[in-house]
Amino acid sequence: MPFVLKRFDLKEETLAFVWLMRTFGITQGEAQRIIDRGRLLCHGKTLPDKSARISGEVEVVYFEAQSRGNLPILTTPDFYLFDKPSGILVHPKKMTTPYSMLDEVRHFGGQHANAVHRIDKETSGLLLASRHKAAERFLKGAFERKAVQKSYRAWVQGRIEKSFSVDAPILLNNDYGPTKHKVFIHRSGKRAYTTFHPIRYDKTLDATLLECIPHTGRTHQIRIHLFHVKHPILGDPIYGTSYEIAEAYLEERLSPKERQRHTGADRLMLHAYSVEFDYKQHWKLFSCSDLSQEKARITPPDKREFNLTNGWKIESEKPEEVLS
């Protein structure tokens, strides 16, 4: 587990945040965040404020990276590029999270390295991580300014022969209970625009491999847009399944066999394939993984227990509020 408890015996009284900075080689802001989150204890008690002075028995809950061998596929003086496997979080969700990509980022880059954008746990593919704070500020700013272009690959249900676009606003769901959907297509949502280009159709699997290019960066944008046009991504346990299957997945009760039967694959068949941006030079980078080679993970159509007539209505929306 990457969060560990370290014990120290301080002979001289000192400011807590200063001691943290010197001991762990971190910035003042990082030291103060450790105190704010209750991860610094003196004589078994959390500190009341950031200006507290400490001495004697001190304990720190500290993130200590533990690599599992997911090496970066590209290393520069400013950033790393990783090919994230499906099913792995980028950041630990809680202190008991056993492993995340942050373990690899910090293992290779040290305490100041950090992932600069988000990628869903279920999605595989390219993850960009900064090696120092200046690169982190620049790259995070580039994502916020929409100065980074990304493309994805996805295996979807059904046959698609022509390129198309979806320009449909997305609204975050404030009531996750009724449907388990994290987002909706809704008129009052934020604009979301995605283009799709078919790469190949597999008749045996009744599945199309698509190139997906999001021009905006909304939560679950590609997933909800493909669900909206009735070509859900195979393996998606939320969009295109029943309430019961989505609930079982979220509660970690859905077995791999059930997932294959009800969603069409044993993982979300969505992969972050390319990233393009400017940082000291122009970069256009591609994944080393090929989603087209993962067809074996797709369930044959005659063994799937979902179809295009089930699960499409978003029950918590009124019909007149849903875009056609």
Catalytic residue list: 120
Q: Which of 119, 109, 118, 114 is nearest to 136 (CA)?
A: 114
Q: Which of 149, 168, 297, 305 is nearest to 229 (CA)?
A: 168
CA dist 254 and 237 (Å) reads 9
- Partners of 154 in the beta sheet? 210, 270
- Cα 108–Cα 111–Cα 117 angle in degrees, nearest 5: 75
Pairing label, strands 74-75, 79-84: antiparallel
- Cα 172–Cα 174–Cα 178 angle in degrees, nearest 5: 110
CA dist 223 and 152 (Å) reads 11
For 137, the enclosing helix (H) or strand (E) is helix 133-144
Residue type, 221: Q
CA dist 53 and 238 (Å) reads 49
CB 193, CB 215: distance < 8 Å: yes
Give the number of other Cβ atoms within 10 Å of residue 113's Cβ.
23
